[in-house]
Structure 1
């Protein structure tokens, strides 16, 4: 990690103990090393063991209470952004394995398409419940590891176990029942294998959503508010790399090269995903340091239980920030279309591949059909590889042409007010020239919905492998914006609101005003975990509708495996394109820039200490461009 990216350590430890006291009814305050003081709260790890309220001593070690606000809002380097977001690439590799090979694997176990569609309800169901719950838990976490790290570690471990159990389902169930003399070829054993695999699909999706909730909040917490677009753009690039690795691995004949990981394609892919997830999460949490949550003022205590969870979620939904609420509305309709595309794209291409062979030879043996579909799955995976390459290319190149919503502070910690960059370089001027006037991130997102809908409608008429692969590849543009735009818009708003809250607390500290009750309320409302969890609910809920709708369509339109003339997947994809048009309309109603509350805008030039605390969050202006390279 680049020098200066870690949390501030402050000056050397003071040898003498500083006594805390109350003045004019204020809470005890501790020195910060810069001449100011910070309120002491009940969960501070630096409070002494003494129970005397008047004579408690506070030991300040290594500037432990030095205000870490400035460093966390300083502009971060490219290397910092890579380390911050690399864990989401490992997670995406696990997703890629499930998306590209999960459906063919379940079909090979004997599931019908209609039942398989109901199995995939595990993803949206876990997203709707797990992510908000994990968000609330992590918001209230006071671990020395940080708020998000414990959930990233636990979720990763569970995901790894789930992938391995799913991949070796036949061996585990067949070996266990074989102890009691059961024949592995019997229908009872086959049914048991299906039930076991479906169970681990659910556990896998719950585990992945736990990791995802932690990683998304981790990125938001550790990236400065004026670099939220940059952080989420980098995250989408890392996701693109994870997709490419996953789909490329799925396209290759892995048992031929790395047979020691397993004797089937799916087993080897699961092992690769486990290694990638474990290593990338380890890199992120060991190189990027979260704020110590024990130094933050504790929010109000909440009751546990299911009823309390839903009460908290519904209350948080009612008070969502305005931009976030609009993004959630867009996501609801967009993901009715995206969910079938994610799970059935490879099967759509594979069905086109097998149709000529089935028509030429309608009486193929089961073994011949299995071999045909195995090759067809690799052809479908190649289309997803093209899709991933287009998505990554879009994520790399598009930021150069996007006019940034904001990325430069109105003033910084070392100078008075300014409105533009103090210097430019030939390279920066070149990058500025690439920006397309008026092409904001929100407008690019709107265009991506229209592109997606057009491609989905086209699946009804496309009947060649090349054209189908091209269609899926073009959808990669829409996928790139889906991974970037909504998270960037929400993260920018949440981060700025969080910065305003910190600014108010700082102002109250400077003015020696006690405002503990309102501060606790702000902390509860503006926590990243629960807001991102609610956003994921807006993604997950429509997936449940899409799953049920897909199951109904498959029930009436599908034909038995190996029967020519099956067009059911194309119909399901086209139906999803209709809802995406509604998402495009709703996107047009979103504002291009996050507005700050009026009270957050400075009315006069602040003092030096106020500038240090407030420079990154109050009043941001549009600077030259967001290059995606210069952070």
Structure 2
């Protein structure tokens, strides 16, 4: 039988099998060693770990070019079994898998950076603003777990997550555009009944409807975010969860920069055909970005056919929902539980930083002017704060650039922990590659062995706390901008580390469970109860993780309000340092989060894995292995 050569992106064979020469070449006069290396180069993924064999200079350059140009053929393929789903994926596969979360981030950035000024322009008071923006934490606490349960139980032939991604994206686009044109919509409808557009009734109606659209927007955004995060987890192999989530954080960083740059530009001047105001153009751009990226991910990445899975359990109403959530919280995997504990305390500090960073920088900017001119007119104060807002926005742009740069560069330095093993057919095995290149050897040489992802996350918490404490003593715009920029390092790890740790644990558990079921070697007995329970599926677990993020935001909002009540001064009054105190208070909670991070293990251990290996006579390897350059990296893809 002639051995058929497989696509570079499908890596099901072991290193030994890949090293065997093709029977069709047995009579060839070519050098067998070169044939073996050449064959391996085609059969093995450029993401797999190198061993000791090397290529000459010409072959190295050809191989690197081949790696850069490889297409994600697995995305459109028809995987037949668990081993094929666990095959190492290419760079383009990872980009297509995560690009939708970048489009979502553009929508988020529009709401966060321009939502408050827009609502104020409609006439909403600042005292009511807190009641509006608390919609985010509330919907995040309730909506994402609920969407997680619904998607886990979805049995559509399109997959579990894609229907919710499509519905959530469509609802987000409609809510954004409706919010931007709320004056025209409400005024036009009421005008049909003879109402005067300048009347107080119409004015109040516009505000009420705008607040309603904000809540609908947060509901829709949380829906699509829950679906996208679970989609990334489901479609990335177990040994590439760290790589997939790092790529997602990179894409989020790109989305942030696009959103901030767009907000800084005078868009109506260049894109007048999208609307006559900045907010209208931003909403149209965000809608196009979200719709196109979700469509691209859905069209190119194949999801498991959920209709082939067993029927979901019957669900009841609201009581059943809370019962399921509570049951899942009690059954959280150990690593995931620790990550949620870290996130709860970390986000008490992160939430004020996200909302008040630009105001903090702007407040430092206005202080010298207020001290020199204490009797400024309201118009002069408005112009001063308008300029301060631009200065604060520039600091956020530096923050976004720092975050993206960290996500691009840091993976080359971190020793991989959660990507070091592949789980396929119930066997824990190491990814191996039968050759190295100059590029791969260079990248391996710059890895810092002791710097694991978990330790980098711990350091990031300490950096964040130090920056927040520094706000109490920094008194220059340049110094404040540097502080906010450095915080971008912590934000990059926050977007990457927790999702990578959780995804690695969930994916590994599911891979083991599917391998047991596909092999039929074990019945659904008492030893499999935990693995087969639907309460530990990706959707609900990621929803609970988001609860650990959203719930502390409510605490942070209430705590910040109390501090502002006692410390803030009227707008335009010099000597107001309330923002610094609020930010520094958040740093205290982040230090406790750093302590909890130190308790997380650097390896994901799944109960029952040792038993599963023992039944097959396999002995697990526990030694660390530097496989980062092959499961995540730049040129080495």
TM-score (norm 2): 0.82
User: CA 1:104–1:454 in structure 2 vs 1: closer, same or farther (change >3 Å)?
Assistant: farther
Measured after TM superposition, the shift of residue 493 of structure 1 is 0.3
User: Structure 2 CA distance, aligned partners of 1:326 and 1:7?
Assistant: 36
User: Structure 1 CA distance, aligned partners of 2:562 and 2:158?
Assistant: 46
- Name 2:75's counterpart in structure 1: 6
Q: Tell me, what secondary structure is at the counterpart of 1:5?
A: helix
Q: Which of 293, 296, 304 matches 1:280?
A: 293
- Name 1:349's counterpart in structure 2: 361
User: Structure 2 CA distance, aligned partners of 1:502 and 1:620?
Assistant: 26
- CA deviation string 1:147-196 (max 9, x = no partner): 00111111111111111222233343444455666665665554433332
User: Structure 1 CA distance, aligned partners of 2:153 and 2:506?
Assistant: 17
Superposed, which structure 2 residues align to 1:3-152 within 5 Å?
A: 4-6=73-75, 8-9=77-78, 67-152=80-165
Residues 352, 586 of structure 2: 8 Å contact kept: yes
Measured after TM superposition, the shift of residue 445 of structure 1 is 0.4
Measured after TM superposition, the shift of residue 226 of structure 1 is 0.1
Measured after TM superposition, the shift of residue 116 of structure 1 is 2.0
Q: Tell me, what secondary structure is at the counterpart of 2:75?
A: coil
User: Structure 1 CA distance, aligned partners of 2:374 and 2:430?
Assistant: 74
User: What is the RMSD of the two structures over their aligned residues, measured on CA atoms?
Assistant: 3.1
- Name 1:232's counterpart in structure 2: 245
Residues 466, 587 of structure 2: 8 Å contact kept: yes
Residues 423, 512 of structure 2: 8 Å contact kept: no
Report the more deviating stretch, 517-526 or 380-389: 517-526
Q: Tell me, what secondary structure is at the counterpart of 1:586?
A: helix
Residues 394, 477 of structure 1: 8 Å contact kept: yes
In the comparison of the two structures, how many residue pairs are matched? 565
Q: Tell me, what secondary structure is at the counterpart of 1:6?
A: helix
Q: Which of 470, 483, 491 matches 2:495?
A: 483
Unpaired runs of 5+ in structure 2?
Answer: 1-69
User: Structure 1 CA distance, aligned partners of 2:231 and 2:89?
Assistant: 15
More helix by share: 2
Q: Which of 541, 548, 572 matches 1:531?
A: 541
User: Structure 2 CA distance, aligned partners of 1:418 and 1:363?
Assistant: 71
Superposed, which structure 2 residues align to 1:557-596 within 5 Å?
A: 557-596=567-606
User: Structure 1 CA distance, aligned partners of 2:148 and 2:428?
Assistant: 38
User: Structure 2 CA distance, aligned partners of 1:416 and 1:91?
Assistant: 35
User: CA 1:492–1:139 in structure 2 vs 1: closer, same or farther (change >3 Å)?
Assistant: same
User: Structure 2 CA distance, aligned partners of 1:617 and 1:132?
Assistant: 36
Measured after TM superposition, the shift of residue 437 of structure 1 is 1.9
Report the more deviating stretch, 124-133 or 178-187: 178-187
User: Structure 2 CA distance, aligned partners of 1:8 and 1:145?
Assistant: 14
User: Structure 2 CA distance, aligned partners of 1:360 and 1:473?
Assistant: 29
- Name 1:313's counterpart in structure 2: 325
User: Structure 2 CA distance, aligned partners of 1:416 and 1:191?
Assistant: 62
User: Structure 2 CA distance, aligned partners of 1:593 and 1:172?
Assistant: 54
User: CA 1:200–1:417 in structure 2 vs 1: closer, same or farther (change >3 Å)?
Assistant: closer
Q: Which of 135, 158, 182 matches 1:169?
A: 182
User: Structure 2 CA distance, aligned partners of 1:587 and 1:80?
Assistant: 31
Unpaired runs of 5+ in structure 1?
Answer: 11-66, 608-613
